[in-house]
Amino acid sequence: MYSHASMTPTELQPAATAASSAAPTAGAGPIRVGIVGATGYVGGELIRLLAAHPAVELVGLTGRERRGDPVGDVHPHLATTELALESELDGEVDAVFLALPHGTAAQRVPELLARGITVIDQGPDFRLRDPADYPRWYGFEHPHPELLGRAVYGLPELHRVEHIAAGEARSSGTPALVGSPGCYPTATVLALAPLARAGLIADVVVDAKSGVSGAGREAKAEMLYAEVNESVRAYGVFSHRHTAEMEQELGLDGLDFLPHLIPMTRGILAACHVRPGRPVSQAELDALYAEAYADEPFVTVVDAPPATGHVLGSNHARVFVRTDERTGRILALGVIDNLVKGAAGQGVQAFNLVFGLAETAGLEALPLAP
């Protein structure tokens, strides 16, 4: 059985068309930003985006056992960036992006918040509201469960109001804490949220495919070229950690999720097979999705099944929905770049809202990723 009792916090929220009252004045100077965990794939994407952000000054990049290493030594495509990697975050910063393994960020966040630093956590440590979900899905007891209620789930399309409220609190002296969504939940939730909000999901199976960069940069035997090339593999069967996020944000219990690894570098396609609780026409679906996403800067409802290549290197998501007249089921597709809209770009989008900037700042026209 599916429950829609928790749909209130996940209702699609109007896009911000202007900066909030927390926006810096023209003479306020750039926002000083640090990145902790800058050597991984997500860290590299954060550097790529924030180095060109019109309101940001990157003042600290850290990576394990780094001592002044040029960014280009770790991320060759960023060789023109005149920055270096250090082992610790030194100097004054206004905001920190954490791109760390699960369980690590939670140890560091209280100290950063105590220093008045806004935190955008790109990992899972502040995505889930229920502390009991962490030992179940991630294998650790959350060290600071008191902060879970404070954290904003960093999917602006569903939680824009909370982002802006966190920004207003920040301008009054209370630093914000954002838990950025996972890549699979981003594609899936955007594909299904209009249906969930309308109470139309009686049952759903999510079949998703991801490029290998979604598993991170550390070498794993199953990620070697010889293991991935010319092959598709299901993994996380009945146990993938992102299931908890999908159920939380869609207000569902018992969602079936099966991810697959495919031989490409980046991109996610989530195919969501829905059995609705009542008959639904295509006209009703079209109206539902048009209303939900008409004003969203980074979500486009398309008329033909989208491909991951359509959003490569960008912060955009494309969504497609069709009813199957023969079976009565609904097919909803969502595609994103897992490292941008599924990670770094979404973090920057949330950062923009929290700091009262235009939501699209630094994300409007991104070049194709390497």
Which pTM does this prediction carry? 0.91
Is domain 8-181+342-354 in CATH 3.40.50.720, yes or no? yes
Give the separation between CA 260 and CA 340, rounded to whole angstroms: 19
Please list the active-site residues.
183
Average pLDDT over residues 56-82: 80
Ranges of each domain in the chain: 8-181+342-354, 183-339
The fold of 183-339 is: Dihydrodipicolinate Reductase; domain 2 (3.30.360)
CA distances to 29, 180, 308 from 59, in Å = 13, 22, 33
Give tens-digit pLDDT for 207-230: 999 998 876 656 566 667 778 889
Mean pLDDT, the chain, rounded, equals 89
- pLDDT of 46 > 60? The answer is yes
Give the separation between CA 260 and CA 178, rounded to whole angstroms: 28
Give tens-digit pLDDT for 280-312: 999 999 999 999 999 999 999 999 999 999 999
Pairing outcome for strands 317-323 and 299-301: parallel
Give the separation between CA 253 and CA 1, rounded to whole angstroms: 7
